[in-house]
Amino acid sequence: MSDVRVAGTGLTPFGNSPERTGRDLFAEASIAAFEDSTVPRDDVEAVLYGNFMGELSEHQGHQGPLMAEAAGVQAPATRYESACASSGTAVREAVKRIRNGENDVLLVGGAERMTNLGTAGATEALAIAADDLWEVRAGVTFPGAYALMAQAYFDEFGGEREDLAHIAVKNHENALTNDKAQYQRAIDVSDVLEAPPVSEPLGLYDACPISDGASALVLTSEDYADDHDLDAPVAITGTGQGGDRMALHDRDHLARSPAAREAGVEAYDDASVDASDVDFAEVHDCFTIAEVLALEALDIEPIGEGISAARTGRTTANGDTPINLSGGLKAKGHPVGATGASQIAEVTKLLAGTHPNSEYVSDATTGVAHNAGGTVASATVHVLEVTDQ
Amino acid sequence: MSDADGVQDAGYDEWLEAAEEGDTYYLECANGHGSLTPRRVCPDCGSLELERVDMPETGEIQTFNVTHVPTPSFEEDAPYATAIADFGPVRVTGQVVGVDPAAVETGLAVELEITVSETTGKRILGFRPV
Ligand SMILES: [Zn+2]
């Protein structure tokens, strides 16, 4: 089984650019990924592309071939859709193909155009990641569903809004050096607590922004990387995916993410690591409470204790296990279909020492990326490690 | 996304109509798992034997929120509380009616009440404190 190398990564700035089409965003990200990898476009055997709301935001289905074209690649292309875990799922499929010998070079990534929909339109588009009949028609929004989980968490394990606020503060702090981040602006706890409510107990600063952006990765087999003398010291060594019932009310737990746990266990086993080996992680913090649930699902924090991790400094840049050194979805932004592959890009750069925040994880050998879809009815987890080359 | 006028969602609209008549049901499989319609297969065990069983009259709120930023379909309704209520064999998500959203809390006993959106006039699944 071949090791899977991250040969190149590319990101557009994440942010507010309503006029930019998905194809323009993905073209920019893929150009950067090819430049970073030195892999020629002609060697790409397939394009695996994540996107969630393209039909609603751009009236565009069948985006796979469109995006291959935008990237200048002549190869079969498929779109992967798993809500906010769309490109995490695409990465997982790419890893499996390279491992089983089917392909040596793949272009993987994702893009989302969202801000052109406006807040109301984007809220409506995001809501369709929930169960339309039994959740959306009862008035549940995407923030609303996470608010249901936050309240359930407070009731079951304790904690308060101020604990969550420290997560937002931490992730904004981490984004200050990330020139691709939507918010490169520090905030404090009172900013979070005093922000307008979106869906109580969550307020505006508990939520990630609505973002436009794209991500791209050139993934290769170990043999290809060696044969072509690529500078690709980071490998994806573990992959996992978990699933759960669609509607929150049908889950066994309202304040836990079993799908993420399943994905994490599978990815750790696959890479032959456990949570104690994880030096840092990029986790899916679409809302502050989501970071808490992710840390507990990944065994980085015990169940019921993740709520205090940011407040006590365990997950800050100087803490034991820095979380979301990129700024996370919260401050870096969350162009839905781009997010999963962008997390892989951030972890790769942090491990390779080429990230502005690499100094905080200078001895790190193992990083994890956690990407969740909907209210975590879908989840992918990837383990990345530094290889000896 | 709404269907063309008058087109029903089989199973779901039928359920809402039954609930409006005070005749609420859930589906129970041969192994006693409860679930909501429309469904042909028990999601817990794969059983194809699904029967309509009367829903318990009262449920208990297990978690809730107060939504201030709704989708366009609920623009005029906000702020409103939504909740997940436990009716024993099934849990259901609904909008809490007949009470100030700020007074909603975990553990509150509720009954189902089909209400309408102030924004669209469409039926919505609601809970009324008892
Ligand atoms: Zn069953």
CATH number at residue A344: 3.40.47.10
The answer to whether residue A239 sits within a structural domain is yes
Domain tally for chain A? Answer: 1
Compute, in degrees rounded to 10, the torsion defined by CA atoms A82, A258, A140, B41.
Answer: 80
Task: Quote the minimal CA–CA distance from B118 to chain A in Å.
Answer: 12
Contact indicator for A357, A174 with CB cutoff of 8 Å: yes
Show which residues of A are catalytic.
84, 334
Q: How confident is the model at residue A305 (pLDDT cuts 50, 70, 90)?
A: very high
- Of all residues in chain A, the percent with pLDDT exceeding 70 is 99
Candidate from B43, B71, B124 with C-beta closest to A127: B71
Candidate from B65, B67, B94 with C-beta closest to A151: B65
- Sheet arrangement for strand A280-282: A77-80, A46-50, A105-112, A213-221, A4-11, A234-243, A378-386, A366-373, A280-282
- Whether residues A199 and B63 touch (CB distance < 8 A) is answered with no
pLDDT at A263: 98
Contact indicator for A193, A168 with CB cutoff of 8 Å: no
Q: How many CB atoms lie within 10 A of CB B88?
A: 12
Task: Tally DSSP H helices, then E strands, for chain A.
Answer: 13, 11
Q: Does A140 touch chain B if contact means CB atoms closer than 8 Å?
A: yes
Task: Enumerate residue ranges in chain B where pLDDT < 70.
Answer: 1-5
DSSP secondary structure letters along A171-218:
HHHHHTT-TT-S------HHHHHHSPEEEETEEGGGBPPP-BEEEEEE
- Whether residues B106 and A151 touch (CB distance < 8 A) is answered with yes
Q: From ligand 1's centre to the CA of A258, what distance in Å?
A: 20
Which residue on chain B is closest to A130 by alpha carbon? B93
Across all residues in chain A, what is the average pLDDT? 97
pLDDT at B1: 46
CATH topology assigned to domain B56-130: OB fold (Dihydrolipoamide Acetyltransferase, E2P) (2.40.50)
Contact indicator for A85, A372 with CB cutoff of 8 Å: yes
- Whether residues B84 and A254 touch (CB distance < 8 A) is answered with yes
The answer to whether residue A193 sits within a structural domain is no
Q: How confident is the model at residue A388 (pLDDT cuts 50, 70, 90)?
A: confident
- Whether residues A120 and B75 touch (CB distance < 8 A) is answered with yes
Using a cut of 0.90, tell me whether the model's pTM lies above it: yes
A113 Cβ partners below 8 Å, 6+ apart? A18, A20, A21, A22, A25, A54, A57, A58, A212, A335
Q: How many CB atoms lie within 10 A of CB A266?
A: 17
Residues of chain B with C-beta less than 8 angstroms from the C-beta of A151: 63-65, 106
Average pLDDT over residues A257-282: 98
Which residues are A48's β-sheet partners?
Answer: A78, A108
pLDDT at A389: 60
Q: Phi/psi class of residue A353: alpha, beta or left (left: φ > 0; alpha: ψ in -120 to 50)?
A: left
Q: What are the percentages of helix, strand and coil residues in chain A, rounded to 5?
A: 45, 20, 35
Which residue on chain A is closest to B74 by alpha carbon? A139
Residues of chain A with C-beta less than 8 angstroms from the C-beta of B91: 249-250
DSSP letter at A135 equals T
The residue segments making up the domain with residue A256 are: 4-118+209-386
Assembly ipTM? 0.96
- Whether residues A120 and B84 touch (CB distance < 8 A) is answered with no
Q: What are the two backbone dihedrals, phi and then psi, of residue A92, each rounded to the nearest 5 degrees?
A: -60, -45
Which residue on chain A is closest to B124 by alpha carbon? A138
The answer to whether residue A302 sits within a structural domain is yes
Residues of chain A with C-beta less than 8 angstroms from the C-beta of B10: none
Q: Which residue, among A117, A119, A250, would best test binding to B if mutated, counting the most B CBs under 10 Å from its CB?
A: A250
pLDDT at A294: 98
Candidate from B72, B79, B126 with C-beta closest to A124: B72
Q: Does B7 touch chain A if contact means CB atoms closer than 8 Å?
A: no
Q: What is the pLDDT of residues A52-90, one digit of tens each?
A: 999 999 999 999 999 999 999 999 999 999 999 999 999
Q: From ligand 1's centre to the CA of B40, what distance in Å?
A: 11
The answer to whether residue A187 sits within a structural domain is no
Q: What is the pLDDT of residues A24-63, one digit of tens each?
A: 999 999 999 999 999 999 999 999 999 999 999 999 999 9
Candidate from B9, B72, B93 with C-beta closest to A138: B93
Q: Does B127 touch chain A if contact means CB atoms closer than 8 Å?
A: no
Q: What are the structural domain ranges in chain B? A: 1-55, 56-130
Task: Quote the minimal CA–CA distance from A150 to chain B in Å.
Answer: 9
